[in-house]
Amino acid sequence: MVEKKQNIVMFPFMAQGHIIPFLALALHIEQRNKNYSITFVNTPLNINKLRQSLPPNSSITLLEIAFDSSDHGLPPNSENCDTLPYSLVITLLRASTSLGPAFKELVSELIRKSHGERPLCIIADIFLGWTASVARELGVFHAIFSGCGAYGLACYYSLWSHLSQKKKKVDDDDDEFVLPDFEEASKLHATQLPLSMLEADGSDSWSVFQGQNLPEWVKSNAVLFNTVQVFDQLGLMYFKRKLGCPVWPVGPVLLSLESRSKVGKEGGLSPEFCKEWLDSKLVKSVLYISFGSMNTINKSQMMQLAMALEASGRNFIWVVRPPIGFDINSEFRFHEWLPIGFAERVTDSKRGLLVQKWAPQLEILSHKSTSAFLSHCGWNSVLEALIHGVPLLGWAMAGEQFFNVKFLEEELGVCVEVARGKTCDVRHEDVVEKIELVMDETSDQKKGKEIRRRVFQVKEMIENATKDEENYKGSSVKAMDDFFNAAISMKEKKMMMMIKREEEEEEKKTSNSINGIS
Ligand SMILES: *[C@@H]1O[C@H](CO)[C@@H](O)[C@H](O)[C@H]1NC(C)=O
Ligand SMILES: *[C@@H]1O[C@H](CO)[C@@H](O)[C@H](O)[C@H]1NC(C)=O
Ligand SMILES: *[C@@H]1O[C@H](CO)[C@@H](O)[C@H](O)[C@H]1NC(C)=O
């Protein structure tokens, strides 16, 4: 008999930075476990885009949940954070909380279609905390999947939960503070707070949204993290303590280059050209610079960075997005945004590539010519660097990225912070110094040597965690198995309870009819 596949429902928030790790997890599960089927839920435009990016041999089902952005004070056809200015991100977040009834109906319909059989589990986004209540109502195992690292998200979670206390401390002219329930993270500084937190006063939209979203997490049955046990223990312990549920590090799960280029932005640098260019460079001679798909620095910072690149004399690939204040879809104006003649000098000397919007990041990070990565330290980028043993120069932009940089520098020792945020003062002399610290392998500088040694160690930790051999399963492989076993066990328990209840009712009916009541 062919056993019926158990269905897994996955629902990421509508942003590339969230959809990509979910898709990576979905493909990872599909490849490893043939006995599960996957239903991937999102709003129509995102599903449409995903349809073109799924590998042809994938059996993942894409399912639309009805959503009209114009009903929520958003421009028409705005279903993804990447197409919205920062000020409207919170509007999309708030709009997503209205999807509750539609999501419940969608899962109920799946159950009806499979003759009453429930999905094995719902895996949902950190921003869709309300899905835990829906799962409870329907008797389905629920897990949150975090595409963020555990340490960074722990700081983020703790800060939103203690916002009023933090405010008081910062207002007291004491710019440094310790998180009351995450002291392991030691001191944070006010400049490490993302804009949404700096502006929060308890009644603003972000505070209200997170005030509803985060408490919902305790209703979940588990949290999955795209991270590795050995190096992210502090954050993992935090969530175990706060939520009282199992927390499983199953990472890193990453999209292959092929899938990534398909969900990536059109245009930009082709993988073939990129490889050819990198092939022509010496081993560990290239600095890769990218601030992710949602962020951009400001014009004066851009100038300073360009001056630093010129002064350092190093090879580089720089993914340039229009600076703050310019439409992200506008024409490129290198002459206005960069020092005079910079673009021409870069091209003539073949020393660098200025790439518009998108580059094949995995191709670059896995290439032997790449030496270091100047990054906003979004967790996807961090994992892609660490898996290839590439040290980081950290320049956080938003969200938990500031805490990722802190973690990478203070705990893992694989990163140097270059700058903080979109308004901080940047001096090109400082940037050059830090680039040299990380890239100059001939220098005796202790810190640089230590960073390169540590990043090699972390690469090995990742290899160990993801090893899946007959006689050895790494921690991330085990965690994934444990998660499925917990979901299966809960489903079986629920089924036993249902059968028992039916039997009891049957019994009642029989005895009632014997007594002549029925
Ligand atoms: C689909 O093809 C890719 C590349 O050949 C392979 O790695 C993957 O395992 C296949 N996926 C499935 C579900 O068969
Ligand atoms: C841009 O960054 C510079 C520091 O490099 C800062 O002085 C300036 O205030 C920033 N401008 C804006 C508009 O944020
Ligand atoms: C990886 O596993 C091997 C074999 O168990 C072990 O010797 C090594 O120390 C591990 N590496 C790291 C960095 O933990």
Question: For ligand 3, is residue 461 a contact (CB within 6 Å)?
Answer: yes
In this predicted structure, what is the pLDDT of residue 300? 95
Spatial distance between the Cα atoms of 84 and 250, rounded to a whole number of angstroms: 31
In this predicted structure, what is the pLDDT of residue 516? 62
Structural domains in the chain, sorted by start: 6-149+216-255+472-497 (3.40.50.2000), 265-465 (3.40.50.2000)
297 alpha carbon – ligand 2 mean position (Å): 9
* 21 prior amide bond cis, ω within 30: no
Ligand 1 atom with the smallest distance to the CA of 31 is 13
Using CA positions, which residue lies closest to atom 8 of ligand 2? Answer: 423
Pocket test for ligand 3, best of 228, 453, 455, 460 (most atoms within 8 A of CB): 460
Spatial distance between the Cα atoms of 444 and 311, rounded to a whole number of angstroms: 21
Instruction: Judge whether 95 and 68 are in contact, CB under 8 Å.
Output: no
Spatial distance between the Cα atoms of 271 and 361, rounded to a whole number of angstroms: 9
pLDDT in tens, the chain (518 residues): 456 799 999 999 999 889 999 999 999 999 998 889 999 999 999 999 999 889 889 999 999 999 999 999 999 999 998 888 888 999 999 999 999 999 999 999 999 999 999 999 999 999 999 999 999 999 999 999 999 999 999 999 999 998 866 555 555 556 888 999 999 999 999 999 998 898 898 899 999 999 999 999 999 999 999 999 999 999 999 999 999 999 999 999 998 766 666 555 556 788 889 999 999 999 999 999 999 877 889 999 999 999 999 999 999 999 998 898 887 777 788 888 999 999 999 999 999 999 987 889 999 999 999 999 999 999 999 999 999 999 999 999 999 999 999 999 999 999 999 999 998 999 999 999 999 999 998 888 889 999 999 999 999 999 999 999 999 999 999 999 999 999 999 999 988 888 888 888 888 888 877 666 54
Pocket test for ligand 1, best of 35, 57, 468 (most atoms within 8 A of CB): 57
Spatial distance between the Cα atoms of 500 and 507, rounded to a whole number of angstroms: 10
In this predicted structure, what is the pLDDT of residue 87? 87
Ligand 2 atom with the smallest distance to the CA of 324 is 13
Ligand nearest to the CA of 28: 1
465 alpha carbon – ligand 3 mean position (Å): 9
In this predicted structure, what is the pLDDT of residue 518? 46
Spatial distance between the Cα atoms of 123 and 19, rounded to a whole number of angstroms: 12
If you search the block for the tokens 């021409």, which residue do you land on? 344
If you search the block for the tokens 């029925």, which residue do you land on? 518
Spatial distance between the Cα atoms of 131 and 216, rounded to a whole number of angstroms: 8
Question: Amino acid identity, residue 269?
Answer: L
Using CA positions, which residue lies closest to atom 5 of ligand 1? Answer: 57
Using CA positions, which residue lies closest to atom 10 of ligand 1? Answer: 57
Question: For ligand 2, is residue 300 a contact (CB within 6 Å)?
Answer: yes
Q: Which residues pair with 12 in a beta bridge?
A: none
Question: What percentage of the chain's residues is helix, strand, coil (to nearest 5)?
Answer: 50, 15, 35
Burial group, residue 293, by CB count within 10 angstroms (0-12, 13-18, 19+): buried
Spatial distance between the Cα atoms of 373 and 390, rounded to a whole number of angstroms: 7
Question: For ligand 2, is residue 361 a contact (CB within 6 Å)?
Answer: no
Tokens at 490, concatenated: 């809960």
- Name the phi and psi angles at 296, rounded to 5: -155, 150
Spatial distance between the Cα atoms of 150 and 404, rounded to a whole number of angstroms: 9
Report in angstroms the alpha-carbon separations of 462 from 223, 224, 364, 484, 488: 20, 16, 19, 21, 27
Question: For ligand 2, is residue 301 a contact (CB within 6 Å)?
Answer: yes
426 alpha carbon – ligand 2 mean position (Å): 9
In this predicted structure, what is the pLDDT of residue 244? 96
Pocket test for ligand 1, best of 29, 31, 53 (most atoms within 8 A of CB): 31
**What residues contact residue 165 under an 8 Å CB cut-off, 6+ apart?**
180
* pTM metric for this prediction: 0.93
- Name the phi and psi angles at 178, rounded to 5: -115, 140
Tokens at 294, concatenated: 């949602």
Spatial distance between the Cα atoms of 116 and 134, rounded to a whole number of angstroms: 17
Q: Which residue, 87, 240, 224, 214, is CA-closest to 160?
A: 214
171 alpha carbon – ligand 2 mean position (Å): 23
Instruction: Judge whether 30 and 58 are in contact, CB under 8 Å.
Output: yes
Q: Helix H segments across 366-427?
A: 379-386, 401-406
Using CA positions, which residue lies closest to atom 5 of ligand 2? Answer: 425
27 alpha carbon – ligand 1 mean position (Å): 9
Rg, C-alpha atoms of the chain:
25
Cα within 13 Å of Cα(154), Cβ side: 29
Cα within 13 Å of Cα(395), Cβ side: 27
Ligand 3 atom with the smallest distance to the CA of 460 is 13
